[in-house]
Amino acid sequence: MKIAVLPGDGIGPEIVAQAVNVLEILSRDGLKVELEYGEIGGAGYDAAGDPYPQSTARLAKDADAVLLGAVGGYRYDTLPRPMRPEQGLLRIRKDLNLFANLRPAVLYPELSSASSLKPEVVSGLDIMILRELTGDIYFGQPRGHRRTAEGEREGYDTMLYSESEIARIAHVAFKTALRRDKKLCSVDKANVLETSVLWREVVMEVAKEYPEVDLSHMYVDNAAMQLVRNPKQFDVILTGNMFGDILSDEASMLTGSIGMLPSASLDEKGKGLYEPIHGSAPDIAGQDIANPIATILSVAMMMRHTFDREDEAKRIEDAVRRALADGFRTADIHQEGMKKVGTKEMGDAVAARL
Ligand code: IPM
Ligand code: MG
């Protein structure tokens, strides 16, 4: 298992260290794990003047999987756009063709009162968001700034999806639904956008190959509302890049903390980039208080999706569950009567149970 490790910025290095610790335990138990470190985001800019340096691109291409921390920091906010940390993330996704982004929102029973929604609304929540990651308005051309004939400034972007882009993410979504409750909700804005009209058409065509899956469609504004009204109606949500960006942040909060949720971004062959869905949290970087669980659970997703090691994935997820059951809590999920721990202590608690 050749794994490129890209800690990135902010809390990235701290949380990735805890996930690497988990990988080292698995390796002690017999898995052949090979780690190679590289820079991305602000760290890439500092090291090589580029948020996605060539050396990192090479490393990532050679690896079977990539473990990424997070990118971004105040220091980089004023750089010209091509040098911004976020560009590193967008470029590695595009470069490795990681079109399928899996963002689970799972509520651990131990945390049911940490959610801002009533426990009965969220208890037992288990949603999988399938977000298309290499197309849409994020990458559509043309885009830019220009002047109108009258000399007024305009900014413009292009929302664009090809049939094949929609079909390949739809197939992943239907296959994901087959392994779960067989319910798929495709989210679009087909009442307004041409891109969405095609999206819906193609999803319905692909659906013919998956008669066992119960397919529904929802407009994105309604989906945003339903996610806080009755989130348990959802099993798998399929959506485009931008809607998925927004809805996955919303869904993550249903579970109490964005610090708990991992993600996988996969290409056609199952190569993947694994990262927590939260950001680099520069305000708490270096203080040993960030929650490492999302990153540790990203390793579980890596075992499952790239290496086909369901046993190891379950082992990691069980260890996390038991650490929570035993009362360990980082600050973001801490509640009265629980053991408040830092990043490293939380990592150690999981490692001990592993
Ligand atoms: C995410 C992030 C990124 C995105 C940013 C940092 C470019 O918000 O992974 O959800 O918009 O995709
Ligand atoms: Mg986002």
Nearest residue (CA) to ligand 1, atom 2:
245
- Residue 349 CB partners (closer than 8 Å, separation 6+): 323, 326, 328, 341
Q: Which atom of ligand 1 is nearest to the CA of 93?
A: 12
Spot the catalytic one: 221, 308, 326, 339. Answer: 221
User: Where a domain ends, among 236, 260, 284?
Assistant: 260
Q: Which residues of the chain fall short of a pLDDT of 70?
A: none
Q: Output phi, psi for 331, to 5 deg.
A: -55, -35
Supply the pLDDT for residue 114: 79
Structure tokens at 36: 């190679």
Residues, CB within 5 angstroms of ligand 2 (ion): 245
Q: Which of 188, 182, 243, 234 is nearest to 207 (CA)?
A: 182
Q: Is 81 exposed, middle or buried (0-12, 13-18, 19+ CB in 10 A)?
A: exposed
Ligand nearest to the CA of 71: 1
Residue 94: its H or E element: helix 85-95
Residues 244 and 127 in one domain: yes
CA pair distance 245, 15, nearest whole angstrom: 22
Ligand nearest to the CA of 101: 1
- Residue 214 annotated as catalytic: no
- Residue 104 CB partners (closer than 8 Å, separation 6+): 126, 127, 128, 129, 261, 262, 263
Residue in the structure block whose two tokens are 């009567």: 337
Residues 288 and 168 in one domain: no
Residues 119 and 230 in one domain: yes
Residues 178 and 117 in one domain: yes
Q: Give residues (CB < 6 A) around ligand 1.
A: 86, 89-90, 245
pTM: 0.94
Please give the tally of structural domains in the chain: 2
Q: What is residue 129's three-state secondary structure?
A: strand
- Residue 189 annotated as catalytic: yes
Residue 169: its H or E element: helix 163-178
Q: Which atom of ligand 1 is nearest to the CA of 245?
A: 10
Q: Is 63 exposed, middle or buried (0-12, 13-18, 19+ CB in 10 A)?
A: buried
User: Where a domain ends, among 204, 234, 260?
Assistant: 260
Residues 127 and 221 in one domain: yes
Residues listed for the chain: 354
Q: Which of 66, 54, 52, 51 is nearest to 4 (CA)?
A: 66
CATH number of the domain where residue 65 is located: 3.40.718.10
Supply the pLDDT for residue 50: 97
Question: What range does the domain containing 132 cover?
Answer: 105-260
- Residue 221 annotated as catalytic: yes
Residues 110 and 180 in one domain: yes
Residues 87 and 109 in one domain: no
Residues 113 and 194 in one domain: yes
CA pair distance 190, 55, nearest whole angstrom: 42
Residues 241 and 205 in one domain: yes
- Residue 326 annotated as catalytic: no
Residues 126 and 238 in one domain: yes
Structure tokens at 216: 């529904």
Residues 66 and 148 in one domain: no
Residue 179: its H or E element: none
CA pair distance 162, 195, nearest whole angstrom: 9
Q: Which value, to the nearest 10 degrees, does the dihedral of the CA atoms of residues 351, 289, 13, 71 take?
A: 130
CA pair distance 39, 253, nearest whole angstrom: 29
Residues 123 and 48 in one domain: no
Torsion-angle region of 349 (φ positive above 0: left; ψ -120 to 50: alpha; else: beta):
alpha
Interval between CA 131 and ligand 2 midpoint (Å) = 11
Q: What is residue 126's three-state secondary structure?
A: strand
User: Where a domain ends, among 260, 292, 322?
Assistant: 260
Q: Which atom of ligand 1 is nearest to the CA of 85?
A: 6
pLDDT tens for each residue of 234-254:
999 999 999 999 999 899 889
Supply the pLDDT for residue 212: 98
pLDDT tens for each residue of 153-170:
999 999 999 999 999 999
Residue 132: its H or E element: strand 126-132
Supply the pLDDT for residue 115: 84
